[in-house]
Structure 1
Amino acid sequence: MTTTYAVLLRGINVSGHKRIPMGELRALLSEQGHGAVRTYLQSGNAVFTSESDDEKALTTALERAIEQRFGFSVECLVRGGDYLRAVAEACPFPAASLEARQLHVTYFSAPVDPGRLARLDQAGYLPEEFRLGDRALYLYAPDGLGRSRLAGALARPALFNGVTATTRNWNTVTKLVELTHG
């Protein structure tokens, strides 16, 4: 059975660092035997089909291939289209009435211990808010991510103890759902 996946690359093409042209990423995914390869934006979002049902194996293979081809490591998350749709549908904030720049999803490589996030005094960051979901965190930042104090607090590596995390704005979240179900 063929499954449609999205792969989210963390921290590429930012300020000239870890540059991966999307055409080369598409070629790399195709060379790995994946089909229907497409990319979205320059920030490391790709969609592909695979016969594999093992997200972890797909992630490991892609991370190794990127390091071999480009000479640097990049953390990746591979997620099936059904998971991406479930995350979007479970959004605890009124996404339809918010601007896309106000709502973000951070995807995690593994479940996050809610106790770690309980240490943050959410009241001190209002009107910004976050909610934890299934290997995802929803962030409402009314003034955008760049001005968010809460996003800075959530970006501390100690909070997630070795779990890979990568964030996408709501436009990208919904576009990846569309691309994996289109």
Structure 2
Amino acid sequence: MTIYIALIRGINVGGKNRLPMQALVAMLEAIGCRQVKTYIQSGNAVFESKEKDALRLANQISLAIGQQCGFEPYVLILGFQEMQRAIAKNPFPQAAADPKTLHLGFLATAPENLKLEKLAELRKDGEDFRLLDKVFYLYAPAGIGRSRLAANAEKLLGVAMTSRNWKTVSAIRDIAQSLERSS
């Protein structure tokens, strides 16, 4: 069994695309996932699966949600080691003091037509970013609510992305570590 992390985009935001976590756990178990744990209501799940193809697993999860809830969200699957590497490569260690200031955008694939100079032009209020492998690190000490950089990153990278703040990423890692220890 492999430990996976599912990052489900755009659920339970502003009263739209409602998906209770208990229902998500049941859906994941129905497609063969085991030891399913969720974190907060924004679509984070850690589980074990025999499936070796992460893209196939992501599609199965999206279809299962579609059948039960009437919408098919974007689902990104990460292996536990991918999450650990993303954490280890954090280029903004100062964010540990205020974990809401750092967001990790997990990319579906590595971008090919980067527009990093356009992203750099959008920085303000101490914002900074780095693209390492398939992770877009955004340090936004003033928050991302009004950040033009945050709002345009996915479009300028040209790749599907789903983001989580440092606190969430750390909590997901902790859940995956406890699952690994219990296996």
Same fold per TM (> 0.5)? yes
C-alpha distance in 1, partners of 2:113/2:26? 39
Measure, in 1, the Cα distance between the counterparts of 2:124 and 2:99: 20
The one-letter code sitting in structure 2 at the alignment partner of 1:14 is V
Question: Which residue of 172, 177, 182 maps to 1:181?
Answer: 177
Kindly tell me: are residues 95 and 174 of structure 1, through their superposed partners in 2, closer, same or farther at Cα, counting changes over 3 Å?
A: farther
Deviation at 1:117, TM superposition (A): 2.4
Cα RMSD (Å): 1.7
Cα distance, 1:171 vs. partner?
0.5
Match of 2:165 among 162, 165, 169: 169
Output one character per residue of 1:6-53: Cα deviation in whole Å (capped at 9) or x when no partner. 100001101111000000000000011110001100000011101122
Percent of pairs identical after alignment?
39
Match of 1:22 in 2: 21
Q: Which runs of 5+ in 2 are unaligned?
A: 179-183
Alpha carbons 1:114, 1:132 under 8 Å: kept: no
Does the alignment pair 1:67 with 2:66? Answer: yes
| In 2, Cα distance between equivalents of 1:16 and 1:123 | 30
In structure 1, give the amino acid aligned to 2:50: E
Report the AA paired with residue 152 of structure 2.
Answer: A
1:26-175 alignment runs, 5 A limit: 26-95=25-94, 97-113=96-112, 115-122=114-121, 124-125=123-124, 127-155=126-154, 157=155, 159-161=156-158, 163-175=159-171
**Matched residue SS, 2:15:** coil
Superposed CA offset, 1:40-83 (max 9, x none): 00000011101122111111111111111111120000111110
Higher mean displacement: 143-152 or 22-31: 143-152
| Alpha-carbon distance change, 29 to 123 in structure 1, aligned in 2, over 3 angstroms | closer
Query: Which stretches in structure 1 are left out of the alignment for 5+ residues?
Result: none
Q: Is the 8 Å Cα contact of residues 3 and 79 (structure 2) preserved in structure 1?
A: yes
- Cα distance in 2 for partners of 1:4, 1:95 equals 29
